[in-house]
Structure 1
Amino acid sequence: MIIGVPKEIKNNENRVALTPASVQELVLRGHEVYIENNAGIGSGISNEEYIAVGAGILDTPKEVFDIADIIVKVKEPLECEYELFKEGQVLYTYLHLAPNPSLTKALLDKKIMGIAYETVEAADGSLPLLTPMSEVAGRMSTQVGATLLQKYNKGRGMLLGGVPGVAPAKVVILGGGVVGTNAAKIAIGMGANVTIFDVNSKRLAYLDDIFGGRVNTCYSNSLSLAEALKNTDLFIGAVLVPGAKAPNLVTEEMVKGMKEGSVIVDVAIDQGGSVETIDRVTTHDNPYYVSHGVVHYSVANMPGAVPRTSTFALNGATLKHLINIVEKGPVEACKNDPLLLKGLNTYKGYVTYKAVADDLKSELNLEYKDPQELL
């Protein structure tokens, strides 16, 4: 099979879909891999490193899309890439389709077999291809929040961990999954006062146990969250509903009740965001804005700021499934692997992931098809 890796073009997105080690594994198995010129530079990987393990280098993204049976990316294609799609091609990447009707329509029009990293799901409900980037984004969210609390970033002028004699900042994390857990690890390590909200009492008990009582845990409801936000210095949105739009759980009224100079970092922005006052996706070039006196950070590709770490972490998770796809063929791989079947979002012009179809039904009049009926 011919595998193509275009250069990522989202703002300040320096990750790359395959490392040289991954390329070598694929080439040794008899597959061809083509990398767009300098696609790995942002992650510290040169063209020469790819060539040394058997990859071909192509000058333009069009050449990559034209030659490849399967396109492997990190982030969802942008509008300027839609015209490059080849009918029936396989696309293996983060897709985040629920808040993105234009991309969904483009995939359906070209009958792209879209396999989304973020919905590949194990039997225990874990998301193995999302987990490494959730770990990165969770840890980054606290670092970013600590920076934005500094006065020159419009924050309250607080040190997250305080100093002897001065109380630390109060951090509220909404969602106790992978993002929330990793955000809490860093916040605790920096000395902050941390509270985690979640709707799953078993998860809260688990968090209380692993953190040894160093975090406050609270069952999430609108009243308790609103009260907590009044005294919060840093709020981290870590809500996830696999494949679906994130629910708006933090209302404008809650934000209005927050202290001036407090900070919101919404990691859920990839799936539409969980904060009502986040009305735009920001970029690493211009990452935050102020609304109702509160600093809002809503960058959709946070791990792109630490591309070396992120690229290698992501490849550790995605390569196994990519090998399955190219060795067995995408149809057989999805038929025989329940994890990959969950990852199948579009196929033969249909949406094959129900949460995406439900969220976009009113905008695109979509018909959901069970992927097992199409394979």
Structure 2
Amino acid sequence: MKITKVRAVTHEVQNVITGWKISLGSKDNHELIFVRVDTDEKIFGVGVASPGAIYISGDTGVHHLELINNVLGPAIVGVDPFELEAITRKLDSLTRTAERAKAGIDLALHDLMGKALGVPANKLFGGAVHEGVRVNRLMGMFPPREMAEKCKAVVQQGYTALKLKVGTTLKEDVERVQRVREAVGPEVTITIDFNQACFPKEAIQRIQKMEPYDVAIVEQPVKAADLKGMALVRQSVKPRVMADESVNNSVEALRIIETGAADIISLKIPKMGGIFKARKVAAVCEAAGIEYLVGTAPGSRLLDAANVHLAVSLRNLTLPCEIGEFERMAGDPCKGLEIVDGYSRPPAGPGLGIEVDLGKIGLEK
């Protein structure tokens, strides 16, 4: 089997919870790049790349399209799609970063390989060790009372874990957490995510003020490059500290471990370049005995299907994962994945197991 064609198109989805903000900025519309990889045996796979907001990724959808259609895609035509290591090395030789664009190709290849063998994608990398995964739902940075109301509505749908975006003022952040805890009760797991908003001592002060409200995990409290500062936060507060923006690959995961900067690492398929590379980061975590979870980029059931296939394969996974954000997006051209009672299970069909409306996005032929 050989790859004959790689094509990428753009598609926009809309956040139905409008006014969504994080400490870095706000964005209600999200551009997705759908990728189709065809072969000489008439089997094809579909993946999705998530360029993300430019203030997070530093990249654009236009650049993704240019790279996939004119650089990365043509470079793997004629290659066996099962030769993932060789493909990954080839793509890395063409561009040092652009991991989000590479992730779209990686997902299409996993979808293709699963379809070729007639097995779910997780069977390609060891199979499932978990039947399903508890879902951690995100909530944007709204005024405290409004945020509490929105979180209560999410919990009433059956979710038992929330991640709250924070990062304005000490008073407002503490009130956000207090009101959400009062609204959802004591049993819901709460993570807070600063998205790099604080200096170390500022983060410590805020987190300590939140102690009465039982915060379980604090994500990326300081700038991504400030590993010494994040280590200080970790040593000074009760909740576990999770690295997100600080970790994009295995080398950076190793630095986090060596500096003692975090207790947990967030594995994100888009920024790490796909399932293949994300699993390498997971292996570093397992070797070091550090916890991990699967993080998200909002957008599509196709991406979250890949996330849940990855999550159920991780032997040391115990934490809830961010694999339900497709529920707040309108315009997703995909179906075949739903959350039931706060849990996600991998689709049983071959590949990623998702039905994509190829006509809707212009990839039908």
Normalised TM-score (structure 1):
0.28
Larger-gyration structure (1/2): 1
Normalised TM-score (structure 2):
0.29
Higher strand share: 2
